Amino acid sequence: ATTAISKFSDKQTGFSVGGPAIQNKAFYFATFDAGRKVTPTGFSVAGGGVNFGNEALVDRFLSILSTRYGYDIGAPAKDEFSRTTDNNKFFGRADFNLGNRHQLTVRHNFVDAVNDVGSPSLTGYRTPDNFYKFKSKTNSTVAQLNSRFGMAVNEARVALTRIRDRRGAQDFESTPFPAVTVVLVGSATITAGRENFSTANELDQDILEITNDFTMVRGAHTITVGTHNEFFGFRNLFIRDNFGNYRFSTLDLFEQGLAQQYDHSFSATSDPKQAATFDVNHMGFYAGDQWRARSNLTITYGTRVDIIRFPKKPNANPAAEANFGYKTDVVPNTTLWAPRVGFNWARSADGTEQIRGGVGLFAGRPPYVWISNQFGNTGVDFTRIGASNNNANRIPFVPDAGNQAKTVTGATSGTFTNEIDLIDPKFKYPSILRGNLAYDRKLPLGLYGSLELLWSSTVNDIRYENLNLRTVGTQPLDGRPIYSIAPGVVPSLSNVLLLTNTSLGDSWSLGFDVKRPFSNGLFLSAAYIYGESRTVADGTRDQAVSVWGNIYVPGNPIDPPLAKSDYDPGHRFTVTSSYDFKLPRGMTATASVFFSGQSGRPYGLNWGSSGASVNGDAQGFNDLFYLPTATDALVYTNGLYQSLDVFFQLEECYRKYIGKIMPRNVCRSPWSNTMDVRLAVKLPVQRVTAEVTLDILNFINLIDSKGGIFQYANFNDIAVFTPVLTSGVITGINLANLTSPNFTRFTRSDLRSRWQIQLGGRVRF
């Protein structure tokens, strides 16, 4: 039997117009594109997409919401539903010839986009109201003047960008309700209410860019000197848990209105929407030379210096320096040097063989949201209260989002009143040493081939430390340390997070590609690449606590080890082919095929409870799993050790770590194959150029319903082993999720695993 997925549609339309405004002097061009996309979420309780199951428990949850708390979700909560991704894009450009030496270009780009976002999983279901809507408007204007002065050219460019992002409820006018998460069975949870990071979330960015490049030719040298300067102005309103965020261990406790975890943040100033505001002045200067050392040898070398200054500082919190030795009113003013050199050597006079390569230091700015954390979480701008998850807690639930408790009652332990984010005064922007070496040549049978090695080594990358953690013991089962965060070094605080650097990290890849164009309109290309990448932190989150708390660790969360990156590429093989041919009635066509086969995402096994951290750092799901032996003194519920053993036998990467803590990302999700095909037909319509296109995405799935499937481990882990803790010590494992009839190891990327057909048309006048 087949089950229909929720509504899916993808519509794109657009037009463009251009021509001369003044003959040979002024020209214009404008284009408008609109996209309207409706995509299934890929999950449901008992319907299309991935089946979350637990239908009877979900029914009871929804009944409690409605009858006990009077909250109506307002949409079919159990069915797979669709989310919207819409956009309108406008681009306009005007070009002016100012005499024989100067050309002026002015262009404007406007984007108005909206996207519904949510992240359900096999163990965490989200009702439609817990998805959030992200609205973004961008206006960008650029003026560019190109000038010629004899053997020299100059390019001057000024750009002004204005971005306004808003993140809120699916319906911005909907009635607010606290975020509520309830454990249904094992570590399977359901979440409803306002997404807790979307209660007060606005970002304004104003960016001025000034660039000038001057290039001159002097004999065998082409010398470029230039400057690129960026001046940022940020306003970041972010108050997490502003409507309250609750967690309940059981449905019974949810019905009674007694929570086991509570988080609430609010402004500590006279402005209820207190925002972090700061500026950044980033000035860059560079010089380089392309030296034609010989007729067959070109050497390119140069250097760049970036000077970063923050005119404003965060507010001072004397308690931070008194307790931890770091000030809150610190900014990362820094200077970066980046020298580079490269070469291109044509070994044969006919250009059929060459060697190229280079090495250099490359630096870039971090996402400024990480710096924004230091401005917003000083400990004096906002008050953040709460209690860490504890089954003994009985915290009263307040369904009125605008009237949340500002003191914690009913908690036996683990209460806190604030978070502080700090930055190391010696913090450096991320930088890497990167190099490449490649060999290109013409091969027999008209083939062209390339072999290239790329490598990089981290000079500075980001790393977070939690200064408020204190060691309180060791897990007898696997020897990992146990910490306490509430109470921590300072009992009244939760996380005290220091942004600093690490020099650990590296990557390399080796790739080969070969291509062959034919005179009859046929083109063939194939490529293979293998690579490895290791990091300490991949930096995939925006909040300081999320970046730190989502690094999977075997024990010590303050000093995570170097491990395989979430983005480790593994193997990838691609084939591209196209063929031009003629059709009757003067029509021409191009048929093309693209095939890709690649390694699945890396993943590992984690302990599976966000409310029971086995190392005590209050960050569930980040603790790497200890694979117990049959002789370990553990009590199993909802299953036997044999259930675990059957699971361990599924993969060699499981079996080799029995009796050990599994390292991060040592396993791979299943290999994936996909093929896309396209037919483009040009129609001989008088005075216009018309084209009709037919695209079939994931053609493999069209001809084989079991092929073209994309599977992955959600968040790069499988976390279905719920620890049973007695006074913080692991005494057993709840196997309810592992032995559930709905359990599957991997999440299917539902839409990508289905074939799609797209018909398009384009007319040019």
pLDDT at 3: 65
pLDDT at 602: 97
Spell out a b/e string for 234-265, using b for 16 or more CB atoms within 10 Å of the CB, else e.
Answer: bebbbbbbbbbbbbbbebebbbebbbbbbbbb
Mean pLDDT in residue range 412-438: 91
User: How many Cβ atoms are within 10 Å of 110's Cβ, its own excluded?
Assistant: 16
- How does residue 535 score in pLDDT terms, banded at 50, 70 and 90? very high
pLDDT at 741: 85
pLDDT in tens, 659-672: 999 999 999 999 99
Q: DSSP of 614-644, one letter per residue?
A: TTSSS-TT-BBPB---TTS--EEESS-HHHH
Residue 2 has pLDDT above 70, yes or no: no
- Asked if 463 and 513 touch (Cβ cutoff 8 Å), the reply is no
Out of 28-32, 187-191, 302-306, which region has the weakest mean confidence (pLDDT)?
187-191
Mean pLDDT in residue range 253-259: 97
- How does residue 50 score in pLDDT terms, banded at 50, 70 and 90? confident
Out of 292-296, 393-397, 619-623, which region has the weakest mean confidence (pLDDT)?
619-623
pLDDT at 414: 73
Q: Percent of the chain beyond pLDDT 90?
A: 78
Mean pLDDT in residue range 399-426: 90
Report the relative pairing of strands 717-726 and 602-607 from DSSP bridges: parallel
Measure the CA–CA gap between 187 and 739, rounded to whole angstroms. Answer: 12
- pLDDT greater at residue 723 or residue 7: 723
Report the relative pairing of strands 82-98 and 26-40 from DSSP bridges: antiparallel
The model's pTM is 0.89
Which of 171, 168, 189, 167 is closest to 180 using CA atoms? 189
pLDDT at 273: 93
Measure the CA–CA gap between 111 and 109, rounded to whole angstroms. Answer: 7
Using DSSP's 3-state secondary structure scheme, residue 347 falls into coil
pLDDT in tens, 142-197: 999 999 999 999 999 999 999 999 999 877 667 899 999 999 988 789 999 999 99
Mean pLDDT in residue range 65-70: 95
Measure the CA–CA gap between 201 and 273, rounded to whole angstroms. Answer: 10
Residue 67 has pLDDT above 90, yes or no: yes
Phi and psi at residue 584, to the nearest 5°: -60, 165
Cis status, amide bond into 487, omega within 30 of 0: yes
How much is the mean pLDDT over the chain? 93
pLDDT at 621: 84
Mean pLDDT in residue range 689-708: 93
Q: CA 118, 122, 124, 126 torsion: positive or negative?
A: positive
pLDDT at 172: 60
Residue 587 has pLDDT above 60, yes or no: yes
E-strand ranges in 405-552 read 415-416, 418-423, 431-442, 448-466, 470-474, 481-484, 493-502, 506-517, 522-535
Mean pLDDT in residue range 606-618: 82
The tokens 């002016």 sit on which residue? Answer: 96
pLDDT at 30: 96
Partner residues linked to 297 by β-bridges: 294, 345
pLDDT at 562: 96
Which of 49, 46, 41 is closest to 82 using CA atoms? 41
Residue 1 has pLDDT above 60, yes or no: no
Residue 413 has pLDDT above 70, yes or no: yes
pLDDT at 520: 84
- How does residue 303 score in pLDDT terms, banded at 50, 70 and 90? very high
Residue 283 has pLDDT above 90, yes or no: yes
Phi and psi at residue 400, to the nearest 5°: -80, 105
How far apart, in Å, do the first and last CA atoms of the chain sit?
49
pLDDT at 610: 55
pLDDT at 591: 96
Mean pLDDT in residue range 561-578: 96
Q: CA 742, 743, 749, 755 torsion: positive or negative?
A: negative
Which segments of 649-695 does DSSP mark as H helices, in order? 652-655
Give 284-339 as a 3 state SS string: EEEEEEEEEEECCEEEEEEEEEEEEECCCCCCCCHHHHHHHCCCCCCCCCEEEEEE
pLDDT at 461: 95
